Structure 1
Amino acid sequence: MSPNPEALPLWELYHQHLRGATYTDLTHAFFPGQPHFPAFPDQTISNFVSLADGALFEVHQYSLVGQWGTHVDPPSHMVAGGRTISELSVKEMLLPLCVLNVSGQVKADPDYRPTLADLEAWEAQHGRVPAGSFVALRTDWHRRWPDREKMANADSDGIAHFPGWSREVLEVLLEGRGVVAVGHETTDTDGGVSSTRDGDYRLEAYILGRDCWQLELLANLDQVPEVGALLLASWPNPRGGSGFPARAVAIHI
């Protein structure tokens, strides 16, 4: 005898809407030699034991910093006493997803930052950004992955030129709209010029200082609608962790 669907509303929701939905991976597969924050060491990987050597198991041993590849930054990454990975609520891992698309502007200006006009245009078309949501900044920078030179886009003086967030938009999203977290496709929140020329990471510190978290190095936002999708984000649960590679998926119809 089959269970009564009316008594199992989440299963019914799955069968009616989620089973046939589109699942878009927003995550880069990480590997040694990939683009990363310049101050960090490269990843190493070795075989602890190998099937090829007659072992019963294939077991890899990894060495990498927490902020590696597509990853989560909890508040403790920059805020003393802030929430760590193990203190982030699992309820925050499934959120409404809003995609702010500024890829056209970035194509003309790689240092572009979203403006209030961009956000106002988004809300004029889609409605107010909902509280408790995740907002991803689409720049199409992910298409440069995994070319380190193209990701950095450095000039002859070694100054990187890639897009970042703006304080004015983040203030509206975090304080005015009450979003839970944000994400972007580049290696840094603040943009290439700020991080490589000025050593300025104030925007990332602002996000984490608001007890919000972020995902960096997202992928495939160009395959996701600007409104109506869900973000499913997950990561390992190291006690007291200040960052770790993450897996993020957009669920949309």
Structure 2
Amino acid sequence: MAGNPVASLVEALAGGSVEVVDLTQPLSEKTPVIRLPEPFVNTPGLRVHEISAYDDRGPAWAWNWLEIGEHVGTHFDAPIHWITGRDGLDVSQVSPQHLVAPAAVIDRSAEAAEDPDYLLTVDDVRAFESEHGPLPEGGWLLLRTGWDARAHDEELFLNAGSGRPQSPGFDVECARWIAEESPLVGVGVETVGIDAGMAGEFDPPFPVHYYLLGAGKYGITQLANLAELPPAGALLVVAPLKLVGGTGSPIRAFALVPRG
């Protein structure tokens, strides 16, 4: 087994020098779902329908069928989710190498606590790189804002009491730079969508969707526990359904984190 990297990883997991961190919010009928204004049609959340529960319908088993939108809970955005990526990949076509990849974590939780409309800039990313090294080739940028602490309460999470949603995200130039110039394959956020709450007012509207998915890259939303990840050195594992024609999928997301 000497020199076997998989065996080394198994040993590290068993010994505790590598920890598995769950980055997924619980998925239930109470999970917050994005709300679009009229005349746009909204996605349904999760509804669970019972088939049988150890009864006359099935005496030795229990199972349910699910009604759910593709973009509910902690979920994956494929390129075809947005009009700029309409000729791109669906969920089933995404390379597994992009679903198991290194992650950089930028912490702007303090800034988002002060300003729910906080926007990450290219200068912020450059400052992060100066301190922690370059963004990982073929990796992910995860934006920590502390928003995961709101996920138990839909009104607090969507934060639209002012008349429009207020949640942190990326500014237009940062979205374009990540899509067109960075070595990343995608971004992940703790909020309900990969764009900031006010992004419908930007030019172009929803620039992370517009640029990132248009460039054939990906997004992950409603992540949890990013506070447990280091700025660099974690391995992200993302597991969407292999849904043919899927524009997105609920996921289970993990990070492998070295502990010394």
TM-score by length of 1: 0.91
- Whole-Å separation in 1 of the counterparts to 2:213 and 2:248: 12
Gaps of 5+ in 2: 36-41
**Which residue number corresponds to residue 32 of structure 2?**
35
Indicate if the aligned counterparts of 1:160 and 1:196 stay in contact, CA closer than 8 A: no
**Which residue number corresponds to residue 238 of structure 2?**
233
Percent identity reads 30
**Which residue number corresponds to residue 73 of structure 2?**
69
- Whole-Å separation in 2 of the counterparts to 1:200 and 1:88: 25
**Which residue number corresponds to residue 123 of structure 2?**
117
* 2:21 equivalent among 9, 24, 34: 24
Cα distance, 1:196 vs structure 2 = 8.2
- Whole-Å separation in 1 of the counterparts to 2:200 and 2:32: 15
Indicate if the aligned counterparts of 1:75 and 1:82 stay in contact, CA closer than 8 A: yes
Give RMSD over aligned pairs. Answer: 2.0
Cα distance, 1:198 vs structure 2 = 9.5
Asked if 1:47 is matched to 2:47, the reply is no
- 55-64 vs 14-23, greater mean Cα deviation: 14-23
1:60 counterpart letter in structure 2: N
- Whole-Å separation in 2 of the counterparts to 1:215 and 1:25: 14
- Whole-Å separation in 2 of the counterparts to 1:187 and 1:237: 22
Q: CA offsets, 1:58-113, max 9 Å, x none?
A: 11110011001000011011122210011001111110010011111111110000
- 158-167 vs 195-204, greater mean Cα deviation: 195-204
Cα distance, 1:14 vs structure 2 = 1.6
Indicate if the aligned counterparts of 1:51 and 1:57 stay in contact, CA closer than 8 A: yes
**Which residue number corresponds to residue 174 of structure 2?**
169
- Whole-Å separation in 1 of the counterparts to 2:233 and 2:243: 32
1:14 counterpart letter in structure 2: L
**Which residue number corresponds to residue 181 of structure 1?**
186
Please show how residues 5-24 of structure 1 align to structure 2 within 5 Å: 5-6=1-2, 9-19=4-14, 20=16, 21-24=18-21
SS in 2 for 1:250: strand
Gaps of 5+ in 1: none
Indicate if the aligned counterparts of 1:234 and 1:247 stay in contact, CA closer than 8 A: yes
251 and 83 in structure 1: CA distance in 2 versus 1, 3 angstrom threshold: same
1:142 counterpart letter in structure 2: D
TM-score by length of 2: 0.88
